[in-house]
Structure formats: structure tokens, C-alpha cells
A and B are shown apart, each in its own frame.
Chain A
Amino acid sequence: MSTTPNKPAAAGKQSEKGFVYLPLIAGWLIPGSGHFLVGKWIRGTLLAVSIIAMFILGLAMQGKLYTGAQDILDILGVAGDLGSGLLYFIGRVMGLGAEPVKTTVADYGTKFIVVAGLLNIIAAVDAHNLRTGRKSS
């Protein structure tokens, strides 16, 4: 009978080599790339398509990219938008989402952009959990 503690096999194997936060950071910067780094190609592709499509649809609906932090809601909006990683910075550099919200659909677009960022954070943390072995497969 074995007396070794019951550890997840992947945890020991994966945490031994490489920078453990790489999937987390890569997944934040580029949606889905954290899963690509841990070898989950289909999941990464589905996550990338979902998050990038949501961000682009938000901009196409004339949604706003939050830029300043005038009040608490704007700060939360910036925090949500920043979750999209490079997508947010590219959008800012290209001057996208700069017009004020005038229609209901544009308000939906703004929410799409914020939620895309929040979903990307969830996806990046999931990639980190796969990397550390906290999530088994």
C-alpha cells in the first residue's frame, strides 16, 4: 500500500518547469493564448473567438471604451475594459470607441466591451489553474 500523499499528477509535473504565471499573463494580453500555452487548443480557440467577437461587436455597436476615471462607475468601466488586454490598448491607439454613447444599442455595445474584458480575466485565471494543476483537465 502506498503512503504518498494524494497530489494531482499534473500539479507536480507542470509546476516544476517554466514561469508559472506565463499562461495567466499571456491569456490576459491575448484572449485564448493562455490555453494555447497549456496545450488546450480547442478551448483556447473557443475562448478567443467568444471574447474577441464580443469586443468587436461592442465596438461595432458604437460602444464606448472607457478612458478616464472621473467617478466610481468610470473606474469600474476602465477596470473591466482593461481585462481585454491588448485589444483595449489597440482600440485606444486606433481611437475606437471614443464617441459618446447616444443610442440604446451603443449602451449595449459598451456593456459588451466591459463583459468581454471580465470574461477574459476568467479565462486567463482558468489557464493559470490548468498550468498549476489546480484544475485537473
Chain B
Amino acid sequence: MIHPSHFAAVLLFALFASTVFGITMRDTPPRMLRYGAYCFILFIGSAIVLSWVMFLIAR
């Protein structure tokens, strides 16, 4: 059994989901790579922003 930190779980989720999104949503390998990277950054970025929002709301 593994117990990754919450951020590690976010990283893994973003990596795998972005890979599938990139491959399935675009036609050519360069565009797949760009879209996958874009999705990955959005996943991670939104997780960090929402974490800070929740932290500030909870204070």
C-alpha cells in the first residue's frame, strides 16, 4: 500500500490525465505535446490556487 502526499497525488493525477488528454484531443505529436503540457500546468496551477483560496478562507 502506498500513501503519497496530497501534492504527490495531484502530480500523478495531472501527469496521467494530461497524457491521455494530449493524445486524444489533438492530431499531431507536436500539438499533442503542447496540449498535454498545457493541461498539466492547468491541473497543477489550479490545485495550488484553490489550495491557497481554501487556506485563506479557513483563517
Contact = CB atoms under 8 A, between A and B. Distances in A.
A57 B19 contact: no
A137 interface: yes
B41 interface: no
B17 interface: yes
B24 A51 contact: no
B27 A46 contact: no
Main secondary structure of the interface of A (DSSP, over half): helix
Interface string B11-23: 0110111011101
Q: Is the interface of B mostly helix, strand, loop or mixed?
A: helix
Interface residues of B, number: 18
B34 to A, nearest CB: 15
A136 B2 contact: no
A82 interface: no
8 contacts: A50-B16, A51-B20, A53-B16, A105-B3, A108-B6, A112-B9, A123-B24, A137-B28
B1 interface: yes
B27 A57 contact: no
